[in-house]
A and B are shown apart, each in its own frame.
Chain A
């Protein structure tokens, strides 16, 4: 088809991995470029995402798209096989609602629970428990948020499905535990074992080692991010 598709990403970023999962589900070929976020962002990244200077950025035939949720919707609208979002407008609205909830509430709360200090950390932990409880309620007996198969919300929930376990181990906190969230933990297991997901998650031990070693750098880097 003569398409040029490039992804600027980072191996350990859940946002970056969301896009890779989506592209793999769609069976779309792309070129991957690993960015060095802490020390040396590429000229290409700064050119393609001047507003935020962040990854992921998807570049399709020279046209850049930034922000993982925007990219996911773009992918779903451009490659119509194996839809990520449901077809029905109401179901789509529900999926978008939960994606927003994950990104605006769950991710920052869990992140701060592990990376912050003092009262901010305590407050974040309370919130994280509340938000995860809400998420657990939404799963209510479904195998995945998308139903029988992985969908839009499951992809967006990758942070909960994989990164949360690693971060809480690094920080020595208990947030996503089986006794508190049995349904969510079962989902996380199914999620991680799903073939297309499994191949597109950074190895747990590598991720843990990375966060442990980089804790201070990340804390400073992300102080203004979330």
Chain B
């Protein structure tokens, strides 16, 4: 499958990272355009007029926005290379269900912890633990056969989303002082995330720890300031 592929992304955006991982898993050659979110390029605004956000994948001049939509597009367009979603419709439904859960429930809950302090943060932390418990139970039920990696050691969509949601747990610990991934409470989730962050592809795509910690600390103080204002 030929054609020029350009990814408009941002180095610290987990959404952007998801698409990068998908492209790397498939072995697709692409150009990367780093966006300054405070000064978005004219192209980004033209390619994603509805949300004006990254990531946007541009394939032969045609733009696609929304990370999960992009990854399904990648899987359907580049049929060579490892599959990002399973073949079987029921297995695909399971992947989409859990991806949705991770995005709408867990990711949002972690984001709430970043944006709050005091009692509100305590509540948010509690909610993250509730969601992790559900995820742990879910893996037990849906993937009792073993590793959720759909191609042995090759990441699929669900692995990518787990990685982008929980992969930064050490950073969360450092900036927020909260440990989410308790191996005793969430053995399956913890071992899954631990295995994912060790993959060469993921390590390659992970920005330096201090850089992310710095940004997260900055984001957190901005949120807290504007909440207090």
**B-contacting residues of A (Cβ < 8 Å)?**
50-51, 60, 63, 65-67, 69-71, 73-74, 77-78, 89-90, 92-94, 96-97, 100-101, 134
- Tell me the smallest distance from the CB of A46 to a CB of chain B, in Å: 14
Taking the complex as formed, is B113 at the interface, i.e. its CB lies under 8 A from any CB of chain A?
no
Chain A to chain B: the 3 pairs with minimum beta-carbon distance, closest first: A77-B89, A89-B76, A93-B73
Report yes or no: B66 in contact with A74, Cβ–Cβ below 8 A: no
CB<8 Å pairs between A and B, sample of 22: A51-B101, A51-B134, A60-B90, A65-B90, A65-B93, A65-B97, A67-B97, A69-B100, A70-B93, A71-B93, A74-B89, A74-B90, A74-B93, A77-B92, A89-B77, A90-B59, A90-B64, A92-B72, A92-B73, A96-B66, A97-B64, A97-B69
Residue from A60, A69, A134 in contact with B50 in the complex, judged by beta carbons closer than 8 Å: A134
| In the bound complex, CA of A187 to CA of B50 (Å) | 21
Interface size class of B (residues with CB under 8 A): 20 to 34
- Cβ–Cβ < 8 Å partners of B76 in chain A: 89, 92
Given contacts A97-B65, A134-B50, contact A73 B70 (CB under 8 A): no
| Chain B residues, CB < 8 A from A134 | 50
* Minimum C-beta distance from A93 to chain B (A): 4
Partner of A73, one of B50, B59, B96: B96
Residues from chain B with Cβ under 8 Å of A90 in the complex: 59, 62, 64, 73, 77
**Contacts known (A89-B73, A93-B73, A96-B69); A70 close to B89, Cβ less than 8 A:** no
Within 8 A of A (CB), among B99-132: 100-101
Chain B residues near A63 (CB-CB < 8 A): 90
Contact (Cβ within 8 A) A78 B97:
no
Residues of B within 8 A of A93 (CB): 64, 69-70, 72-73
